[in-house]
Amino acid sequence: MDLLKDADLLNELGPLLSAEAAAEAPAAGVDAADLEQAVWVRLLEGGPAPEPADRASWLRRAVRAEARGARRRARREVPYRARPGSAGAEPEDAALHGEVNRVLRSAVARLPGRCPELIGALLSPRDLTYREIAGELGISQGSLGPVRSRCLGCLRRMLAAEVAAPDLRGRER
């Protein structure tokens, strides 16, 4: 194709292609711009340009064909999902997640006073409410917030002491 003719073709078919792609894209589950681009590639790689009298119908057929292809791909492509309860899709992620949980549970067990029971209840997979936690621990619901704050501060200090300080960068003075 000649560059001058390409510009004429772009000006002539651009608005119609945008409208057709916008109409077909939601049903195909793709972005309208992606559909437009696929049709332009089809036109430019497909050899000779369609005849001037047949351009609009060729464009409609091309948009619908690309949309059908997108729907077929969407049906065939199944997203990979990690097992429920795993930290990530990779075994390394699951191992690291397990190690972090082990270290956290170990630190919680070393907390003073009622903190292990309270933090354990907050970390529970049952997702207890403050009222349920207060009932289980036998303390008032109003005192849970201050006790939780004190316990979390203690846990932060404990974990900060266990984590190594970063190396100094550059020269020491």
Q: Phi first, then psi: what are they for 170, rounded to 5°? A: 85, -155
pLDDT at 153 over 70: yes
The predicted-structure confidence for 86-114, as pLDDT tens digits, reads as follows 445 578 878 888 888 888 889 999 999 99
The predicted-structure confidence for 27-75, as pLDDT tens digits, reads as follows 888 889 999 998 888 887 876 667 777 888 888 998 999 999 988 888 8
d(CA 31, CA 37): 10
Give whichever of 48-52, 95-99, 117-121, 169-173 has the largest mean pLDDT. 117-121
Predicted pLDDT of residue 93: 79
What tokens appear for 91 in the block?
């075994």
In contact, 40 and 21? CB cutoff 8 Å = no
In contact, 134 and 140? CB cutoff 8 Å = yes
pTM score, whole prediction: 0.43
